[in-house]
Structure 1
């Protein structure tokens, strides 16, 4: 148990931030990102921006090497696609359409696979006498658009070009996810009525709640196993502090409430890894001088940013952060 009430309050608030951040990330990853196939869409946008030729991109996605990375859409993906696309008919869409509509475009493409597929498509265009309209950026060592050359020599250049584009695409993806996270954080903070100012007041005056949160926080830093069942169990610790039992009665109270809710939202948007590191330092500072324990695998705490493709990387989940979409 900590000797300082102030530190106990700080640790309690940080622990609540971690739980809310994990909840927000879980909802974002499992519902929003997967439901709307965000990674696949951002990846395709990046490739279109790279090649500046939608017809070529379509040919590329139809190449067997790229098609092999696609997969049948689950019911949730189908539902998400229907949500994100305007309906052109009043007839209710089928939950399991047949044909190409059941195939979801890949949410990751390794750089070496992309280079081989693009080389093959461009080779076919050249053999057919079709012009190659790809615009090569300055500084990219690719020569397939400059006469009759050996495209095999361009593979390394294509991979480097693709990886540089994916670095930018990864930034697009992260910014979109960050917007989703902020909106989700605001909805969670408002929906559960967890404003930081009231939270500080509660844990400052309620020794039982404070002791429970501090104990859970200490265990969290030493036995952390981020899974959904544990998250549900930990969130139950803050149940007495959530809910709208009364409304502010004047302008000043409303102002403080809004400030508190926005503070919680901003804190949640920083992410669980950030708050875990802060919590770990506070706990270790008051735990007999022990050095901070190592942080858990960040891939378990954060949404992967899966659009950076490194050669020879073998992803184990859709669009893993190869991390470096």
Structure 2
């Protein structure tokens, strides 16, 4: 009996977190799409791949300083530095049809660029740089020609760290074009993997923030909900039965997939989620006079404070304790919601 009561409470709380997580996912997806958060983050990451600060404030203006390099023939070539020569190269790479094909909107930076697309776009850019006056190039000697032109500073747009990286990849591939593409794709993967790890950590904080807002707005205090259901096990059992009805109606295997798939589900069913939020009504959540009484007492709102103190016998000491307890309960709710809907869907199933 005891184990059943505890299990019912766990299922009830898990379902509550799941509903809130779905709502948070929808909010986050809407905000991210509106601000193109992922796209802007990817653009910044690509921009910083070979960023180097020079002596000018405009990447397209020549710098006053210069860099000298020695060619394979022993000649000394002068290479003007810019604040970020890589930006000009990146602009041309991103202007490729391989990048345009993954844009959701024509003038919007893509939220994700597959490694193969970035590699193909970069290769097209490099091929343009080695073409002769007739617009032709030797596919079999592409890397040899590219290396020669880079060492002789014959490609004005490629400078600095990007140039150094290309020369390194050429040497590493030993002039094998297929291997060069593999090395280039591997480099891109490593750069974006770091972005992915950082983005996941950032999203956790964002989901926590949205979860805290919803917890406060709907007064979803984990400790209070658990306490009431423990004191009234019949209500917990009845609520679990309602959850079973929800699962039978809404069961969808895609809900256990990745967050990106879940976002699509949340966007398509947000109105339905709002209706199903009524399923949580039997739980002790939401605001009423009793729940607001401690805040009224502490804030000293006239009439309402006196009414709350008289009706619910709320002293100042009790009010402060209740408020602290609520903030702690909201914090736990927000932390649980930040784990994501897929996690809680698996738990209550």
Q: TM-score, normalised by structure 2?
A: 0.62
Task: Give, in angstroms, the shift of residue 194 of structure 1.
Answer: 0.6
Q: Which residue of 2 aligns with 1:111?
A: 115
Aligned residues: 249
Q: Does 1:271 align with 2:334?
A: no
Instruction: Look up the match of 2:316.
Output: none
Instruction: Go from structure 1 to structure 2 and tell me whether the alpha carbon gap of 1:117 and 1:257 turns closer, same or farther (over 3 Å shift).
Output: same
- 2:182 is matched with 156
> Following the alignment from structure 1 to structure 2, what is the Cα–Cα distance between the partners of residues 49 and 126?
25
Larger fraction in helix: 2
Q: Larger Rg: 1 or 2?
A: 2
**1:253: which partner in 2?**
322
Alignment of 1:15-164 (within 5 A): 15-29=15-29, 31-52=30-51, 53-72=86-105, 103-127=107-131, 129-130=155-156, 132-133=158-159, 135=161, 143-144=169-170, 153-164=179-190
1:270 aligned counterpart, secondary structure: coil
How far apart, CA to CA, are the structure 1 residues paired with 2:340 and 2:103? 30
Higher relative contact order (CA 8 A, sep 6+): 1
Q: Per the alignment, do residues 243 and 220 of structure 1 end up closer, same or farther by CA in structure 2, a change over 3 Å counting? A: closer
Return the alpha-carbon distance in structure 1 between the equivalents of residues 230 and 167 of structure 2: 62
Q: Secondary structure at the match of 1:107?
A: coil
CA distance in 1, matches of 2:3, 2:244: 14
Distance 1:138 1:125 in 2: 16
Q: Which consecutive segments of 4 or more residues in structure 1 shift more than 6 A? A: 136-141
TM-score w.r.t. the length of structure 1 is 0.66
CA–CA separation in structure 2 for the residues paired with 1:131 and 1:253: 65
Unaligned runs of 5+ in 1: 73-101, 281-325
Distance between the aligned counterparts of 1:42 and 1:139, measured in 2?
Answer: 23
Q: CA deviation at 1:244?
A: 2.0
| 2:281 counterpart of 1:239 | yes
Q: Check whether the contact 1:185–1:268 (CA below 8 A) recurs between aligned residues.
A: yes
Q: CA RMSD in A?
A: 3.2
Change (3 A) 1:26 1:137: farther
Would the aligned equivalents of 2:220 and 2:285 in 1 still touch at CA under 8 Å?
yes
